[in-house]
Amino acid sequence: MKKQNFITLTGYREFDLTKMEKRSIEFLEELSRRRTVRDFSAHPVPQNIIENCIKTAATAPSGANMQPWHFIVVADPKIKKEIKIAAEKEEKEFYSKRAPKEWLDALKPLGTNENKPFLETAPYLIVIFSKSYDLSSDGKKIKQYYSIESTGIACGMLITAIHHAGLVSLTHTPSPMKFLNKILNRPENEKPFLLLVVGYPSADAMVPNIKKKKFEEITSFF
Ligand SMILES: Cc1cc2nc3c(=O)[nH]c(=O)nc-3n(C[C@H](O)[C@H](O)[C@H](O)COP(=O)(O)O)c2cc1C
């Protein structure tokens, strides 16, 4: 019997095994070149590229297809400045008071501190909010399922799309991030999830010399 409200799977493409292997290696090589960048150029990026990357993120799977996310794209210099001031205030508290020594030690190799010039330099800040519940048109609460996991997957796809387009990003989490609700006028049911800084790297951009764990260390087969 035909299932109600189902359509034929048309998007899937099958490849022979040689092509499959080639594609998997090429994608691995492309993503292995991704780095978190903290030195941004002010070189402008057309908005439609950012829109395409967000549309890619929005193809992500989500618990019960709730799509519990909202993406805010900030290009306005005044709002970027406001975000920078608020983030640096939180980060100053974090680095000087709130962060335990163990956390600061873990951050040492990255050379980060409370100064966040990139929040003004980079052409775009994409702030991703995750919905703890949604609201129907008549104001009823709609439960969301696995909203953190779902938003995390969408963010991973967004970072991948940005890299694939030839741009760089910084996953930034000024702690705590509640100030983003106020500045961006987002409702109580949306929690700031990540602040993604997006643009071109500066000509002299440097990245920390850190390594990924070995495949054998992170994978087990049964
Ligand atoms: C959830 C999350 C939060 C992060 N928060 C920050 C941050 O606030 N500031 C920062 O400079 N980097 C931040 N990063 C970037 C990490 O430091 C970076 O991904 C890690 O050092 C590995 O480097 P790579 O992305 O170049 O492989 C964050 C990354 C993730 C996934």
Q: pLDDT band at 56, cuts 50/70/90?
A: very high
Please give the C-alpha separations between residue 171 and each of 66, 67, 159, in angstroms, as whole numbers: 24, 20, 8
* SS3 assignment, position 128: strand
Does residue 115's CB lie within 6 angstroms of at least one atom of ligand 1? Answer: no
> For residue range 199-218, what is the model confidence (pLDDT) as tens digits?
999 999 999 999 999 999 99
Sorted by sequence, the CB contacts under 8 Å of residue 111 that are 6+ apart come out as 208
Bridge partners of 130, per DSSP, are: 69, 191
How far is the centre of ligand 1, averaged over its atoms, from the C-alpha of 110 (Å)?
9
Q: pLDDT band at 3, cuts 50/70/90?
A: confident
Look at residue 196 in the predicted model and tell me its pLDDT. 98
> Where do we find the tokens 């002010």?
42
Amino acid identity, position 51: E
Q: In what order do the strands lie in the sheet with 124-131?
A: 69-74, 124-131, 190-199, 168-172
Look at residue 125 in the predicted model and tell me its pLDDT. 98
| Over residues 178-204, mean pLDDT | 97
How far is the centre of ligand 1, averaged over its atoms, from the C-alpha of 36 (Å)?
7
Q: Tell me, letter by letter, the H, E, C secondary structure of 46-111.
A: CHHHHHHHHHHHCCCCCHHHCCCEEEEEECCHHHHHHHHHHHHHHHHHHHHHHCCHHHHHHHHHHC
Look at residue 1 in the predicted model and tell me its pLDDT. 65
Given a cut of 80, is residue 141 above it in pLDDT? Answer: yes
Sorted by sequence, the CB contacts under 8 Å of residue 199 that are 6+ apart come out as 40, 41, 42, 43, 45, 121, 122, 123, 124, 167, 168
Does residue 24's CB lie within 6 angstroms of at least one atom of ligand 1? Answer: no
| Over residues 11-25, mean pLDDT | 98
How far is the centre of ligand 1, averaged over its atoms, from the C-alpha of 171 (Å)?
5
Torsion region of 185: left, alpha or beta (phi above 0 gives left; psi -120 to 50 gives alpha): left
Instruction: Provide the percentage of residues in the chain whose pLDDT is more than 70.
Output: 100
Does residue 113's CB lie within 6 angstroms of at least one atom of ligand 1? Answer: no
Bridge partners of 190, per DSSP, are: 131
> For residue range 70-102, what is the model confidence (pLDDT) as tens digits?
999 999 999 999 999 999 999 999 999 999 999
Look at residue 175 in the predicted model and tell me its pLDDT. 84
Bridge partners of 204, per DSSP, are: none
Minimal-distance CA residue to ligand 1 atom 17: 110
> For residue range 143-177, what is the model confidence (pLDDT) as tens digits?
999 999 999 999 999 999 999 999 999 999 998 99
* SS3 assignment, position 217: helix
Cα 181–chain centre separation: 17
Instruction: Provide the percentage of residues in the chain whose pLDDT is more than 90.
Output: 96
